Amino acid sequence: MAILDSDKLVQDFPILSQEVHDEPLVYLDNAATTQKPIPVLQALEHYYRTDNANVHRGVHTLAERATISYEAVRKKVADFIHAQSTKEILFTRGTTTSLNWVAHFAEEILQPDDEVIISIMEHHSNIIPWQQVCRKTGARLRYVYLKDGELDIAGLKELIGPNTRFVSIAHVSNVLGVVNPIKEIAHLAHEVGAYMVVDGAQSTPHMVIDVQDLDVDFFAFSGHKMLAPTGIGVLYGKQELLERMSPVEFGGEMIDFVQEQTANWKDLPWKFEAGTPNIAGVIGLGAAIDYLNELGMDAVFAHEKNLVDYVFPKLQAIPGLTIYGSQDLSKRTGVISFNLDDLHPHDVATALDYEGVAVRAGHHCAQPLLTHLGASSTVRASFYLYNTPADCDKLVDALMKTKEFFNGTL
């Protein structure tokens, strides 16, 4: 396994060369979105300069080139997550759209007294669609909670039963950074005939994903969290399920033939992709996957783990700093949420920004989790492949300065 040279990699990301408030930028908001390397920027420019045309429609040279490039990315995505077929790869606007599409499928299946199980650590995108579907169908939405900062698997086993129809869980929490045992959960779901849905937004950019080994029914993720442009996402679904699933959007290109009163849909995967797609976004996603494949996802994961192993004890040593989630670093990724003394997270994040450190502050679209934790909001630092131990040191130093400033000792 190759070892990442993050000091060299950072040169591939032009945005990281700037200063903020006369301080070198240290970007630690990667769970929100990642920066884009030069190859991705070049791929977007190349498409718009040389191949800009609609896909699947024209027979002229530009349209043919655009279509070939677009569909080649579908194959790259399938290989990247180890899907069985490109028919199982749907391009969407992002994880939110992908999960809403699955919820639409669930609405066609769920009956009163059926149950959907999600966890308390879910992003709102994996809560609200299920709330709406359960409200419409009369199904019951049930939650599995935490134990020692991790998903309570014993509690989940008690919840899953003959009425369970869907289990929808984040692979990695966007607040706690904990990695959930998706393969085990999928087995539990399938034992009772339930479908397993996974929010992979925080896992796909950081680790090897094998949807066949995990044996999940649906898997959703976004491009912008893995070096690609915004506005492009993926929904993986087992082919036999996507064959049964009705389209969510209707219009051009997803049809086979339209008559005055009826229409027929195209085959998979195109029956789900109505209208002009985000072609440039797909091209950028392909370039991002090429970049990640060249580095190796095992190397990316190991690099982030080394950063967390390095910075976690340093953060723990700061008096008055509380870290949320499991203290077992073997079960964590590069997402660390914390609070400092009784300071408001927005004040802490603003102070860090003046030191050049970009972090997230707020509820991170996970209000039920924060309510469960007894916190209205937190500060979140999240690391990626271009971050360095020096970035970790800058975060710790900036937090110490922030603490001293608000305590009046600086």
**C-alpha to C-alpha distance for 339 and 191, rounded to whole angstroms:** 40
Closest CA to 333 of 205, 193, 144: 205
- Residue whose entry in the numeric block shows the structure tokens 């029956």: 271
Buried b (16+ CB within 10 A) or exposed e, 21-34: eeeebbbbbbbbbb
**C-alpha to C-alpha distance for 370 and 148, rounded to whole angstroms:** 15
The residues that bridge with 219 in the sheet, in sequence order, are 198, 236
Using only C-alpha atoms, the chain has a radius of gyration, in whole angstroms, of 22
Q: Please tell me which residue in 208, 358, 365, 400 is annotated as part of the active site.
A: 365
> Is 365 an active-site residue?
yes
- Beta-carbon contacts of 313 under 8 Å, excluding residues fewer than 6 positions away, are none
**C-alpha to C-alpha distance for 241 and 75, rounded to whole angstroms:** 19
Greatest CA separation for the chain: 76
Residue 91 and residue 70 in contact, taking contact as beta carbons nearer than 8 Å: no
Phi, psi dihedral angles at 264 (to 5 degrees)? -115, 145
Residue 142 and residue 119 in contact, taking contact as beta carbons nearer than 8 Å: no
**C-alpha to C-alpha distance for 26 and 360, rounded to whole angstroms:** 13
Please report which helix (H) or strand (E) contains residue 256, including its range: strand 255-258
DSSP 23: E
Closest CA to 371 of 379, 363, 382: 363
Helices (H), 228-296: 239-244, 279-295
Q: Which residues are catalytic?
A: 365
